[in-house]
Structure 1
């Protein structure tokens, strides 16, 4: 086993990639494969149209196919590029060396283990050394030094600093603590399975809320694979001290640690708003279907002590992230549901709750997937569905989302469901540290006392507006086809979430094994490219043979749903009609245009608006529940 492999397996947080003289190639296309890694250059997402400039200028990301983890959630690539970092590096070429590609793979791996804020590595090529730093906002290479020659003194300082660093100095989250060794140093040992590990969260007074890691065979620690992004870790915990028990109780809990964009409304605020508005609308019966949040802490990168702050490489606007920790009630994964009937009960629960959240607070979830549906055993032995993970949700209370409208006569890459002529001429344009108990408003200056009624107080203060990027959000296999077309990230509509609910049922029927309590893979919808997933779904909606390919391995318990006139077939037909109306409408508009037409006319806008209104009317919540044969409200 190599030194790199040993260090990564121990998760000590520092690793090296070394090449001897003449070992490194000079162009990416000359690289030999590194295990399963596939290097695609200096970008975050291959299939999306743009990346932020600051990420391009100081980062190189490898889309390494090394993980067997669950599907990746998409939240990257806003339309407009961001401003450059405050401290600018020389723009890097998109051509990377073999050893750069190798270290990118290791950065991805090390950042995907434990509860980590960043990762550090050494890159040695011939007699030159570069330090490599990666966090959820990007990756930084230092200038190369001649560590065996004129820069030997600097190299000794690097060695000394690395040797003296503790687990937190090497990138472990500063609120996570491990047992100390005989010399007083905190030490993480992988074979200990987090025995003795604790999570300490500030409360605003002299005593932290402390939680024990509670990792067991039935309660595992989950970490999201990859470096850049939210990097979510979900840790099974239980309250350790009196302060934690007073705030969170003594039931089983999880700590959700992630790095969302600072520009987004905080997930804890979303959950507080949802619960408050359901109560105000006398829809308290749906509270049981919304994740129960006990406590939250948000820290800036300065408060986290991120090394990029010392380097003065601070992302601007849309690239800036914060670290947010939520303490939540623990639920069971959808995998454990065990039967078609129990799944259907949970499914209807969360579809209803999703709708009434939208009706009462105008908050749209926007990341419907099997991973975000959980459940617990109710008093009568029936499962109770719970909709979790509101970190990509968006508040639409300021008005309806504008219609999805393609811009005509602009170049675009291939889009699902468009003829070659339409593809050539159409681009899609779809339409400081804070900690607090659940239900308590966030303040940048103080930590507020718990709110007795558990709802967000209305302080009347307006927040300073922040530049808010537009994102393509969702989890590939469950995203609506409108959201998977190439071009500008689309505006996300309520109907798109309804389509995601349909895909949840399709994926479950096609891949879930009730006796084994597990989901199989669905390769057609788990590709690296969102556009390819969109093309597969377009064909699935319009061609029966593609439908049959998707459901061909369905467990026998789901076979009744695959017969004609079942509610799943009727939903498939309805969403197929909506998809058909889109691309036939666009092509009809193209045929009516003359070569001299430029841009879009008022008539085009009006026609697209009518088309979108018709598509929206074709699938509403009422229609969806009518096809399911379920009540809209209970």
Structure 2
């Protein structure tokens, strides 16, 4: 987890994140005191787990004292619960938070002593230093010897900093964030314990699909810090010495216990039903209200429209920073009206947080539909309406917009975009191999039409984005969905985002699997179609079921970029062993496609990979030659300077010596040329350079390889015509006319 910013005060954090005004504390009118038995138990405990219970006791006791002297709102009936070894289950993993905040009445689920992340609005992580600093030891001794006294709470201020174990003035570590669709940002690296808190936030984001942001508390010995996570990054408050600064400690307690759902980070556009228990553990039966929206023929409709969420989320993207895509099944609410939306039809509402500088998905879809012929429009999502909430709009409530004094690299700004469109079926749900082939070919064609007619390249093809619909006769046809990472296909005007790595790992082109990916081109999308086909033959049963991913495709999703690229290369270059593996892993329904589709396409991409490898090697060879040439010419230049400074009566032996020096340099280059020669031999056999006759030796060494290397032209868009739409269709036995 990167994208960390720090420096926000406890007061600002509580005000802008939890929405609590410190004026409600009635400062100075009453005296707060820590319970001596609890704080002594906390500081004297030898183990970290032993501190969970007394800390929760301090929290609850502070709230009890607050309740006696103030009138605090109580929206969610929250309480702290120390967990110890209790597991908390998410949709993807189980974790073991040290302490959680839960709603009143929330208990472990039926399958053992476990809680569910969807029941937990906030987690805490504890850290006890095994070797506390001398300052920490002095502080503990001071407290244990009676140096801590109850005092009137009349101000909110940080008295002093307690050593947190980090050296002052220490340089911030630099790490690289890889989010898949964004430029890399450098920031501070979290500690292992801080990463645990981020993992709890990850599960909270990825379980139900109803969170805009998630908060947490990190307790390290005698200090605590407040943490905030959203789709843009993380924010950490100043450290608070919670035993010696009771005013700020009480402020945190009051804010947590009186927090409403919106300030806990739950999506405010979703109105949850009045159900028993924790009302935010499900989105089913919620109401989604869009206060305004846009359509294809109206940039802004100011009449609100409401939709009922008919079931749990169809898709929740696993992650923190990024688009955070969530797809909810919806129907038009009774009595609601919206042009083009039918009350009897099922729709989906897609929530996402794209980078604000990207091309807008809704505008791209409407542009595509207006740019292509009517017969092809049915293959593009019939987007009904959209809502984009940007910075400055009240509905775009993200606390980071008003938090002050943030330190760290500025993150990429994002917007909340909601699209409402018909509910389509997933590619895996086709009923037969014939249907699969028809849908796949149709998707291949519409992708081609959009690229060359609308000048838009998709750039994120996957099994989840290739969908289908049925016409009135129940005939299946493809829907090319999810255009949020698309880019202008005009190769002369590549934007900055065109070089951002985009795609879904198992389906990404090999050339893009590197630290500095090139511009995403049409041929890369064609390669994605191939990897989607391979995934289908391994996993689709054609009865709505999908097999778990096998070891072969798992290697396309894990490891370094180089590891994943090599795994795909090995798949292309495999011999009889691979053929046997293919036959063993392919589902019975897809057996007929191995010979007529998979193997011909694999042969085509083998030729492409060979051409691209040769081209890459030639470029490397040329760079090596130029570097070698620069070294030699520098020696020649120095020789000439020496000649110019020589006296007229100097004999020729010196010049002879200098010629020998040039020979030594040349010999050294030849000694280094073994690697160059091996690369040259792997690339291609080169014909001898054309041209004859002797030239006068000017002293400057010419690059005789330049012309040789340039004799092999390179067409970037098609990899020298090895990957084209026509060749793809040819490989699967399809005509090149629609």
- Structure 2-normalised TM-score? 0.62
User: Which residue is 1:16 aligned to?
Assistant: 124
Structure with more helix by fraction? 2
Match of 1:581 among 608, 611, 614: 611
User: Which residue is 2:384 aligned to?
Assistant: 294
2:218 touches 2:225 (CA, 8 Å); kept in 1?
Answer: yes
User: Which residue is 1:306 aligned to?
Assistant: 398
Provide Cα deviations, 1:165-218, integer angstroms capped at 9, x if missing partner: 211111112211113579xxx96242x5623443434246664111111116xx
The secondary structure found in structure 2 opposite 1:293 is: coil
Matched, 1:111 2:142: no
Residue 561 of structure 1 and its aligned partner are, at CA, apart by 2.3
Write out aligned runs for 1:201-220 (5 A).
201-203=291-293, 207-215=303-311, 220=313
Residue 532 of structure 1 and its aligned partner are, at CA, apart by 1.7
Distance in 2 of aligned mates of 1:162 and 1:527? 39
Task: Report the CA distance shift for 1:248/1:515 in structure 2 as closer, same or farther (over 3 A).
Answer: closer
2:233 touches 2:411 (CA, 8 Å); kept in 1?
Answer: no
User: Which residue is 1:542 aligned to?
Assistant: 573
Distance in 1 of aligned mates of 2:509 and 2:100? 40
Distance in 2 of aligned mates of 1:362 and 1:181? 49
The secondary structure found in structure 2 opposite 1:567 is: helix
Residue 273 of structure 1 and its aligned partner are, at CA, apart by 0.6
Deviates more, 1:139-148 or 1:578-587: 578-587
User: Which residue is 2:589 aligned to?
Assistant: 557
Match of 1:523 among 554, 557, 580: 554
Provide Cα deviations, 1:415-459, integer angstroms capped at 9, x if missing partner: xxxxxxxxxxxxxxxxxxxxxxxxxxxxxxxxxxxxxxxxxxxxx
Distance in 2 of aligned mates of 1:489 and 1:608? 23
Write out aligned runs for 1:436-585 (5 A).
468=497, 470-484=499-513, 486-515=514-543, 517-521=545-549, 522-544=553-575, 545-546=577-578, 548-549=580-581, 552-563=584-595, 566-585=596-615
Specify the structure having the higher radius of gyration (Cα): 2
Task: Report the CA distance shift for 1:23/1:335 in structure 2 as closer, same or farther (over 3 A).
Answer: farther
Residue 20 of structure 1 and its aligned partner are, at CA, apart by 4.6
Provide Cα deviations, 1:334-357, integer angstroms capped at 9, x if missing partner: 222132221111101111111111
Query: Please, which runs of 5 or more residues in structure 1 have no aligned partner?
Result: 26-55, 64-72, 83-90, 402-465
User: Which residue is 1:361 aligned to?
Assistant: 454
Residue 377 of structure 1 and its aligned partner are, at CA, apart by 2.3
Deviates more, 1:595-604 or 1:240-249: 595-604
The secondary structure found in structure 1 opposite 2:441 is: helix
User: Which residue is 1:188 aligned to?
Assistant: 279
User: Which residue is 1:428 aligned to?
Assistant: none
Match of 2:732 among 600, 605, 628: 628
Higher relative contact order (CA 8 A, sep 6+): 1
The secondary structure found in structure 1 opposite 2:500 is: coil
Deviates more, 1:128-137 or 1:611-620: 611-620
The secondary structure found in structure 1 opposite 2:598 is: helix
Matched, 1:268 2:358: no
Match of 1:610 among 691, 709, 714: 714
Task: Report the CA distance shift for 1:367/1:468 in structure 2 as closer, same or farther (over 3 A).
Answer: closer
User: Which residue is 2:342 aligned to?
Assistant: 249
Matched, 1:143 2:238: yes
User: Which residue is 2:662 aligned to?
Assistant: none
Distance in 2 of aligned mates of 1:474 and 1:57? 31
Residue 299 of structure 1 and its aligned partner are, at CA, apart by 1.1
Distance in 1 of aligned mates of 2:364 and 2:489? 12
Task: Report the CA distance shift for 1:206/1:539 in structure 2 as closer, same or farther (over 3 A).
Answer: closer
Distance in 2 of aligned mates of 1:58 and 1:211? 46
Distance in 2 of aligned mates of 1:597 and 1:300? 54
2:541 touches 2:587 (CA, 8 Å); kept in 1?
Answer: yes
The secondary structure found in structure 1 opposite 2:200 is: helix
Query: Please, which runs of 5 or more residues in structure 2 have no aligned partner?
Result: 1-85, 87-96, 103-115, 134-170, 294-299, 632-702
Provide Cα deviations, 1:252-291, integer angstroms capped at 9, x if missing partner: 110000000111010001101100101xxxx211111111
1:509 touches 1:554 (CA, 8 Å); kept in 2?
Answer: yes
1:167 touches 1:187 (CA, 8 Å); kept in 2?
Answer: no
1:224 touches 1:231 (CA, 8 Å); kept in 2?
Answer: yes
Residue 510 of structure 1 and its aligned partner are, at CA, apart by 1.9
The secondary structure found in structure 2 opposite 1:615 is: coil
1:4 touches 1:16 (CA, 8 Å); kept in 2?
Answer: yes
1:263 touches 1:467 (CA, 8 Å); kept in 2?
Answer: no
The secondary structure found in structure 2 opposite 1:235 is: strand
Distance in 1 of aligned mates of 2:500 and 2:290? 33
Q: CA RMSD in A?
A: 3.4
Distance in 1 of aligned mates of 2:426 and 2:630? 52
Matched, 1:237 2:330: yes
User: Which residue is 1:88 aligned to?
Assistant: none
User: Which residue is 1:120 aligned to?
Assistant: 215
Corresponding residue pairs, total: 504
Residue 329 of structure 1 and its aligned partner are, at CA, apart by 0.8
Distance in 2 of aligned mates of 1:314 and 1:272? 40
1:366 touches 1:474 (CA, 8 Å); kept in 2?
Answer: yes
Provide Cα deviations, 1:362-420, integer angstroms capped at 9, x if missing partner: 1000111101011122233321111100001101236387xxxxxxxxxxxxxxxxxxx
Task: Report the CA distance shift for 1:605/1:147 in structure 2 as closer, same or farther (over 3 A).
Answer: farther
The secondary structure found in structure 1 opposite 2:567 is: helix
Distance in 2 of aligned mates of 1:605 and 1:135? 50
Match of 2:250 among 153, 156, 159: 156
Task: Report the CA distance shift for 1:380/1:547 in structure 2 as closer, same or farther (over 3 A).
Answer: same
Matched, 1:619 2:649: no
Matched, 1:389 2:482: yes
1:122 touches 1:130 (CA, 8 Å); kept in 2?
Answer: yes
2:101 touches 2:121 (CA, 8 Å); kept in 1?
Answer: no
Distance in 1 of aligned mates of 2:611 and 2:496? 35
Write out aligned runs for 1:5-44 (5 A).
7=102, 9-20=117-128, 22=130
